[in-house]
Chains A and B, each alone.
Chain A
Amino acid sequence: MRKKGLALLAVAGSLAFGVAACGDDDDDGTASGSTTEQSSDGGDISGSIAIDGSSTVAPFAEAAAELFNEEYPDVKITVGTSGTGGGFEKFCAGETDISTASRPIDEEEEVPVCEQGGVKYTEIVVANDGIAVATNKDLAVDCMTVEQLKQLWNKGSQVTKLSEIDPSFPDTELSLYGPGTDSGTFDFFTDQINGEEGVSREDYEASEDDNQLVTGVSGDQGGFGYFGFSYYEAAADSLNLVGVDSGDGNCVKPSVETIQDGSYKPLSRPLFVYPKADAVTRPEVKAFLDYTVENAAAIAEAAKIVPLTEEQVGTAKEELATAESGS
């Protein structure tokens, strides 16, 4: 009898483990659209705000929503990640209040759609985005051109050592790290370096978790990767930063300054939000935008992206002042 019991136990146990593996163990997954809502005291403003758009701006929007809710808990904010293009599609159809974007709205394709839908809007720059290319400390590379980065990262690339690209580069076997294909960083990098969004070699270690990329690059002798600049900043001591030459012979390393002024080309860009003029007349949307622009630096820090300069904050405030009329 005992043996039979044991066998049953084995079966039940392994079934349970097999099943458990499909679900639990990883409970910190974040859904793509997150809702922040609290119901407590304080804040006489209530209502809901629908935000959608770029996945690169999403962490910023989510951080803004979270901080905003600390003061105004009765405002319900949803942040979607349909992508910049998908966000504008919904925005111009009047479905969302604020669209986030990692590029300006397209004059030829998107502006007419918005006009047709009767959606007026304002463009506000809320933060700056920069991608750092970094290597292991032992892999001494000071500068690479966009062309060289493309040779390494483009679709079908067979490069396993940097010396294959340029003999002056180290002869170390590379281990490559990059963001997962769902991230805005991946889209931006592939677009700027490989010339087409989403096109990349596939045989690299991809993780949605930038910290894991940093761990890998700093741990492997041939570690080479790219990720959001803030993640480099947090681990600057254990990484070697690679400057990028956009083709003019001028090698620029990313820093808060070079990302803010755009001289770190082509891997830096401003990030936008587009509030709908009709929505700005609603007190909760107005309050949210005021709060976001006022606290843009703190929000950027929480979201791990590069904040605005003083000057940019000034411009953002001016833009916001005209947002109700939809300039």
Chain B
Amino acid sequence: MGRRTSLVRRPSRRSRFEAGVKALLFAAAAVSVAVTLAIIFSLVKETIAFFGDVSVGDYLFGTKWTPQFAGDQQSFGVIPLVWGTFYLTFIGLVVAVPVGILSGIYLAEFAPRRIRKIVKPVLELLAGVPTIVFGYFALTFFTPEVLRNFLGLGVNQFNALSAGIILGILVVPTIATLVEDAMSAVPQSLREGAAGLGANKVQTAIRVVFPAALSGVVAALVLGASRAVGETVIILIAGGQQANLSLNLYESYQSMAAYIAATARGDIPTGSIEYETIFIVGMTLFVLTLVLNLISIRLVRKYRQVYE
């Protein structure tokens, strides 16, 4: 009895160790929160400075983005950049969504073990290719060889089509892997049940397992879209640097992230209005990505089904 009370009162070596681990884990989690807060702080500071010079309405609804010009040629309408970002993302998703979902379904439901053992690592390898490699692949191979010579399209050297398609290929592994995970997580009993009712393999996969995994699939799609929205280098290298408000796939476009990268590389003086545009565009991108994530949480909740 006496021994037991002493155990409770005095922390043993083990419980001290556990407290230490807890503190370490908390610190690790706190780092990411602190960094996020610091980023928001730095963005907000310059955003306020920016809106001291430009009205919110001119920024959000203006259709001309020429911050680096002087005098009456200078204009701060962010719409062309937002448009460029979403247009390229859209092209990317047109490629990535079908390819990603179908390969995810194939890997989860149909692929023989042997093929799966080859395809999965290759997909993961694709996800690990640095985006700058994709960028130059698009610029120096995909645009001139595939689009121009093979397909005979009259695209510009920097164009939305090439950058968008390669952007899509970049996103494919993200979507495919997450879809596969989501579908593999569907309990085996559902498949057995479907088989018991006489469904064949395709019917089971499409009508039973896929709907059951829908929340995971939606999460995969939104994550893929977020990845595309934030992608910088491919668009910077292959998509061009012209804030363009058009629909022409052959023309050059600029996305928000690419604008930030291109402008930060130039010789802009710190504290100037051009300098502030880097942060306001960063803020806009941050908010848009956040909204995308909120939508994804909503969608995932809506489609969630629990099998226990």
Contact = CB atoms under 8 A, between A and B. Distances in A.
Given A32-B269, A215-B139, A198 B69 contact: yes
A6 B219 contact: yes
B241 A205 contact: yes
B232 A21 contact: yes
A10 B230 contact: no
Given A26-B264, A29-B265, A82-B269, 5 more contacts: A22-B285, A26-B261, A26-B265, A81-B269, A175-B156
B70 A198 contact: yes
B236 interface: yes
B48 interface: no
Contacts of A183: 266-267
Contacts of A216: 156-158
Interface in A219-238: 219-221, 223
B169 interface: no
Interface stretch (B5-13, B111-119, B177-185, B198-206): B177-185
Interface string A20-34: 111001101110100
Interface of B: 36, 39, 43, 64, 66, 68-71, 73, 131-132, 139, 143-144, 154, 156-158, 178, 181-182, 185, 215-216, 219-220, 222-223, 226-227, 229-233, 236, 240-242, 252, 257, 260-262, 264-270, 274, 282, 285-286, 288-290, 292-293, 296-297, 300-301, 304, 306
Contacts, number: 168
Contacts of B131: 25
A112 interface: no
Contacts of A17: 226-227, 230, 289
Contacts of A219: 143-144, 156-157
Interface of A: 2-3, 6-7, 9-11, 13-15, 17-22, 25-26, 28-30, 32, 55, 58, 81-82, 155, 175, 180-183, 198-200, 202-209, 215-216, 219-221, 223
B303 to A, nearest CB: 9
A316 B240 CA distance: 42
A25 B68 contact: no
